[in-house]
Amino acid sequence: MKQKRWIAVLATVIVLASAGIVLAAVSCNGSLAADSDKGRVNAYYLSGGATEKKELSDLFAILEDNAADDIDTFFAVREIANVFARRKQYHKLINFLTARVEQSPEDQYNSYYLLAVADAYMKQDAYPVAAMYLDMVVKNYPDLIIRGNPIHLECLKQLIGITEDPAQKIWYYEELISRFKETIDAGPTYFLLGKTYENVGEWNKAIESYTQFLQYYVTAVPGYPDAYSYAKQLVDFSNSQKNWAFESLQSMITAIKAALDAGDMRQLWQYRAKVNFFARSWAHGNDDGGMARFTLSSFTTSNRIRYAENLEAGSNANEAYLKTSGWSLQLTTVWYFYFRKIHFPPDPEIHGKWEWAGIYYGEKF
């Protein structure tokens, strides 16, 4: 493990050098490159005014005291790092803590120190290097509870926020759920895992994640105000027979117009989507009101239902609107039938077909 950590330190030096971030020289044993005199090594860290130097000298003295227990040592290391963090001397913080980890590989607090190193890199916008250290903590170091918070939990949250590789992000989400489900808000985590699976084309696993999301849904998902309706539509559609789809928009409109001409509301109603079909006013936008459950015959009169010859302006390759009139709804006699192309990559047989997805009441805004 020590060899792996040293390889990681070397990789850090290479990455930062290419990014133009300057590091103090590091020797092969992880300590600062200086002569063997201990005072010269510590002098690198002892900067600032007299008060600041005295504070650091006292803390380093604790580290040099062989009688100091683990808690005193941890306190000293943490406070030295905090001094450098307050001064934004991130190069000193990084060198100090990585040297500490290298020289004391059995220290139970190493995961905390490396988390602080990662945080220092993030404050310099060196996110790939920060991710390398966070990943190292999760995979190579035991977890540690600091002030009631697991170090691995914090690392996983940070990794999800800064990692661009979707495969890696999936691993972090799954680790987060499997280890900390009772601590985190599982609903949003499952949803974001589903979105990440979508991004890599793993649709079956995405549907599984969305199914779990619906079970754990309590709070909104930041950045996804329609998360619940989006996930529910996909899950419901996935579990349905999908036998109402038409090969093309034209074939669907032809069938619907024929049913209207014949006044056959029962046949017309069979053409609707059997899941996620909505009926709402334009004012309700995309609000999810659940599956619309009624019969068309309840809103017909002795007059024939009329329809526009052409689709409405605004119809396109993915969705379309057909104006109809003559309905006996109290507030309006005008309904717009809404059609959309089915987007469901998990099933190539259904993906790209068309469905009658809903009804909008009243004149279009």
Question: Residue 309's CB: how many other CB atoms inside 10 A?
Answer: 7
What's the angle, vertex CA 44, arms to CA 42 and CA 45, rounded to 5?
70
Share of residues in the chain with pLDDT > 90 (%): 65
**Residue 209 counted as domain residue:** yes
- On whether both 147 and 131 belong to a single domain, the answer is no
- On whether both 95 and 180 belong to a single domain, the answer is no
Among 131, 360, 357, 158, residue whose Cα is nearest residue 256? 357
Decide: residue 117, CB within 10 A, 0-12 exposed, 13-18 middle, 19+ buried: buried
- On whether both 110 and 174 belong to a single domain, the answer is no
pLDDT at 331: 76
- On whether both 107 and 192 belong to a single domain, the answer is no
CATH code assigned at 218 = 1.25.40.10
What number is the average pLDDT over the span 4-26? Answer: 37
Least confident of 43-57, 122-136, 175-189, 283-297: 283-297
Radius of gyration of the chain (CA): 31
C-alpha separations of 71 from 62, 77, 107, 246 in Å: 11, 10, 11, 70
What number is the average pLDDT over the span 100-118? Answer: 95
Q: Of 239, 258, 288, which residue is a domain's last?
A: 239
Residue 9: is its pLDDT beyond 80?
no
- On whether both 96 and 174 belong to a single domain, the answer is no
What number is the average pLDDT over the span 62-72? Answer: 78
pLDDT at 287: 58
C-alpha separations of 331 from 103, 118, 147 in Å: 78, 61, 60
- On whether both 121 and 148 belong to a single domain, the answer is no
pTM listed for this prediction: 0.78
Residues of 147-167 as b/e, b for ≥16 C-beta within 10 angstroms?
A: eeebbbbbbbebbbeebeebe
| Amino acid of residue 78 | R
C-alpha separations of 97 from 33, 122, 167, 240, 258 in Å: 15, 15, 30, 56, 76
The two structure tokens encoding residue 128 = 């790939």
**Residue 244 counted as domain residue:** no
Share of residues in the chain with pLDDT > 70 (%): 84
pLDDT at 319: 97
- On whether both 217 and 296 belong to a single domain, the answer is no
In tens, the pLDDT along 16-39 reads 433 333 333 333 333 333 333 444
Number of domains the chain is built from: 3
pLDDT at 49: 82
Q: Of 239, 266, 295, which residue is a domain's last?
A: 239
Q: Of 135, 163, 183, which residue is a domain's last?
A: 135
pLDDT at 283: 83
**Residue 173 counted as domain residue:** yes
- On whether both 154 and 197 belong to a single domain, the answer is yes
- On whether both 174 and 115 belong to a single domain, the answer is no
Per DSSP bridges, beta strands 354-361 and 145-146 are unpaired
- On whether both 35 and 104 belong to a single domain, the answer is yes
pLDDT at 133: 98
Among 292, 290, 249, 244, residue whose Cα is nearest residue 268? 244
In tens, the pLDDT along 219-265 reads 899 999 999 989 998 999 999 999 999 999 999 999 999 999 999 99
Residue 62 CB partners (closer than 8 Å, separation 6+): 68, 72, 73, 75, 76
In tens, the pLDDT along 308-321 reads 999 999 899 999 99
Least confident of 29-33, 184-188, 202-206, 274-278: 29-33
Residue 360: is its pLDDT beyond 80?
yes
The two structure tokens encoding residue 126 = 């060196």
- On whether both 148 and 130 belong to a single domain, the answer is no
**Residue 66 counted as domain residue:** yes
Q: What is the mean pLDDT of the chain?
A: 85
- On whether both 260 and 235 belong to a single domain, the answer is no
pLDDT at 169: 97
Q: How far apart are the first and last CA of the chain?
A: 65
Residue 300: is its pLDDT beyond 50?
yes
CATH code assigned at 291 = 3.10.450
pLDDT at 311: 97
Residue 120: is its pLDDT beyond 80?
yes
| Amino acid of residue 289 | G
Residue 296: is its pLDDT beyond 90?
no
Residue 151's domain comprises 143-239
